[in-house]
Amino acid sequence: MARAKEKVISLMSTTTVDHSAIAATTLYTVPTGFRWIPDHVKVEAAGDEAATIVSLGQVGALTDFLGNQTLSILDAQYDVVTLQPIPNATPVLQKSYAAGTVFQVNVTTAVGNAANTYYLFGNLQAV
């Protein structure tokens, strides 16, 4: 994949994630010389994801971007959801990750399919 442009929300990675097993899957590693701010993740289902639950964040935390997200709305192959912190009257704290930080999705309840596609978006800032 071509390198993402600085200061623009870009597609950072496309990763296949197994929702049929409890596990953490790496979506992105922040490159040297940059900080990275995740914006959102689109999940394209491989089929009915039932009551699959995932969280997203850096290794060691795995929930610091988004806590548990239930994907039961994904009922059929090619259904898509967007996972992101939702702003409201009170500002939503977002994270900025240093170079070398590994960002993962963690399947905590596995009742879905094996070949779901995660599209990770965010922006890089040179440091």
pLDDT in tens, 49-94: 999 999 999 998 889 999 999 999 999 999 999 999 887 777 878 8
pLDDT in tens, 80-89: 999 998 877 7
Residue 9 is classified by DSSP as -
Beta bridge pairs of residue 25? 105
Q: pLDDT band for 4, please (50, 70, 90 cuts).
A: low
The full DSSP string for 18-85 is: -SSS-EEEEEEEPPTTEEEEEEEEEEE-SS--TT-EEEEEETTTSSSSEEEEE-TT--STT-EEEE-P
